[in-house]
Amino acid sequence: MSPETDFVVIGSGVAGLRASIELASAGARVTVLTKDKASESNTEYAQGGVAVVLSEDDEAGLHEEDTLVAGAGLCDEKAVETLVTEGTKYIKQLIDWGAEFDREAGKLIFTQEAAHSRRRIIHSHGDSTGAELVRALIARAGLEKKINLTPFANTERLIVHDGRCVGVEFLDPVLRAPREVFGKAVIMCTGGAGQLYQHTTNPSVATGDGMAMAYLAGAEMADMEFIQFHPTALNLEEAPRFLLSEAMRGEGGILRNKYGERFMPNYDERAELAPRDIVSRSIVAEMRRTGTRTVFLDMTALDGEFLKHRFPKIYDTCSHYGLDISEDQLPVSPASHYCMGGIRTDLWGRSTLPGLYAAGEVSCTGVHGANRLASNSLLEGLVFGARAGQAAAEESKDLRVKREDVASSDQSLVSTLNSQLSTAVKKRVKRIMWERVGIIRDREALVRALTEFEQILAGSISFSSRKFVTVAKLVATAALWREESRGGHYRSDFSKQRDDWRVHSVQQRDQPIGSAHSISFQS
């Protein structure tokens, strides 16, 4: 691969692909680096669908209000307005590009999910919406001759010269040796960090690399304490924590305890349709009350043929493990699912580090606040991926990066000869995060977690392991700092939401943790 390119995009999920298309459409040469195959990302695993204002009885104001309510008072209102108003345009564009969403008699089918006031969720092939978006975007990107997609390329670090991000160092998938690629700007679209936790719905690539690289390069991070735990992941010893979509409860699924009793109305008047953070904590409380490690999702009141058609991937996966979703009680428990926090950006994907843009789950625009509204993530990737690509193209068109100037800087390359994430480190961090920085937190547990992370970092570990621990430390530090409970962050020792904590946490390398009233820091 030639190191000569205009822009480097890291990640090939919905945000990365959409940013790449935007850049290439502006005439730029784009190098896309992705850790695995092009389709392996959190986008690929998104089941529920895309929340978008397209139905006749819906309007942008209602979608905006639902998002603000779910975000528990911490959403950036301008970011939410941008998401819901521009989202419709980008979904229509995606349909024009060939994305296929489920229809009946030629009309889009809209479903409902928790905390939505309208049936506004569109889906593809029942429960394979993310995979369809990736397919359509890869096909569209294939039409752009200036996009060079490089799979199996592990990005190690960002290259910063004279205070600007001008490239990346990555592990060449062919030579298995360190390589550098330079450009006018870098757009980070690496997804989240679900693999920080022992139980997660995320694929193995979701290790938070992008967050760590941005932080270590000097960019600000925001709201890292807010982790969304999905309430209903399949809980079988021999099975991975496969996600049982939010849409299953939206279609009428009931949560029951080991005695077969419906329990959610005892915790929230919205019952199964309460926001995810409430449902997850309610399940934990019910499991503790009944002395079990699981509850059950009951779909048996729904027609079997409907379920098979509506949730084909879930139906087949459960069948593989001997469960019929139309007849059996499905054992479920919460698992880490989504990071509301990430690289602090404005509404055009600009980070606080010049030359570095970010979009999708790796970023934090403030659009999700303290708790993401179901099915807003794919829409976020489309909208802010496009906006980051547009801003990068416009703001860097006259910039020239000379490779020889950067190469002569005093930065030393990171050795990638031993760059693999240590299995032992990964297991230890995942256990600590689940037990001490999980669904329910307190000061003692968080302090112990941070002490252990410091011990790990003091040892001789690979650079990839160091990045993994760094992201875990960012989450735990922010969780210890926020002395209240809000959205995806719950402190048993500060169980109430407090108005004086209606601020974003901000972390920057070599600086004490601070706060900001808004994420949108540039015009």
Please provide the DSSP assignment of 450-497 as one string: HHHHHHHHHS---HHHHHHHHHHHHHHHHHHH--S-BTTB-BTTB-S-
For residues 522 and 350, which has the higher predicted lDDT (pLDDT)?
350
Q: For position 418, what pLDDT does the model report?
A: 54
497/489 Cα distance (integer angstroms)? 10
Q: For position 39, what pLDDT does the model report?
A: 54
- Among 83-97, 98-112, 191-205, 407-421, where is mean pLDDT lowest? 407-421
Please tell me if the domain spanning 7-193+340-406 has the same topology as the one spanning 232-334: no
Whether the full predicted model's pTM is greater than 0.75, yes or no, is yes
Q: Which residues lie closer than 8 Å to 411 by C-beta, 6 or more apart?
A: 159, 160, 161
Percent share of the chain, pLDDT over 70: 93
Cα–Cα distances in angstroms (integers) from residue 134 to residues 46, 89, 339, in the given order:
10, 18, 20
Where do the domains of the chain lie? 7-193+340-406, 232-334
Helices and strands in the chain: count of H runs, count of E runs: 14, 21
Mean pLDDT for 58-78 is 95
| 232-334 to CATH, choices 3.40.50.1010, 3.40.30.10, 2.60.40.2220, 3.90.700.10 | 3.90.700.10
For residues 124 and 47, which has the higher predicted lDDT (pLDDT)?
124
Catalytic annotation present for 164: no
Encoded tokens for 492: 């048993």
Encoded tokens for 353: 């580090």
Mean pLDDT for 106-130 is 87
Q: Which of 91, 22, 88 is nearest to 390 (CA)?
A: 22
For residues 388 and 417, which has the higher predicted lDDT (pLDDT)?
388
For residues 187 and 43, which has the higher predicted lDDT (pLDDT)?
187
Q: For position 246, what pLDDT does the model report?
A: 82
The answer to whether the beta carbons of residues 343 and 335 sit under 8 Å apart is no
- pLDDT tens digits, 275-321: 888 899 999 999 999 999 999 999 999 999 999 999 998 999 999 99
Dihedral sign (CA 215, 376, 36, 96)? negative
125/103 Cα distance (integer angstroms)? 10
Encoded tokens for 75: 């959403």
DSSP type of residue 266: G
Q: For position 335, what pLDDT does the model report?
A: 96
Mean pLDDT for 314-341 is 96
Mean pLDDT for 224-228 is 97
Q: For position 240, what pLDDT does the model report?
A: 84
CATH of domain 7-193+340-406: 3.50.50.60
Cα–Cα distances in angstroms (integers) from residue 303 to residues 250, 251, 308, in the given order:
15, 11, 9
State the chain's mean pLDDT as an integer.
Answer: 92
* pLDDT at residue 498 is higher than 80: yes
**pLDDT band for position 374 (cuts 50, 70, 90):** confident
Range list of H helices, 343-436: 377-395, 403-407, 423-436
Q: For position 402, what pLDDT does the model report?
A: 64
Mean pLDDT for 27-35 is 95
β-pairing, 254-256 with 295-298?
antiparallel
**pLDDT band for position 373 (cuts 50, 70, 90):** very high
Q: Which residues lie closer than 8 Å to 500 by C-beta, 6 or more apart?
A: none
341/225 Cα distance (integer angstroms)? 7
- Catalytic pick from 140, 276, 350, 441? 276
Q: For position 411, what pLDDT does the model report?
A: 45
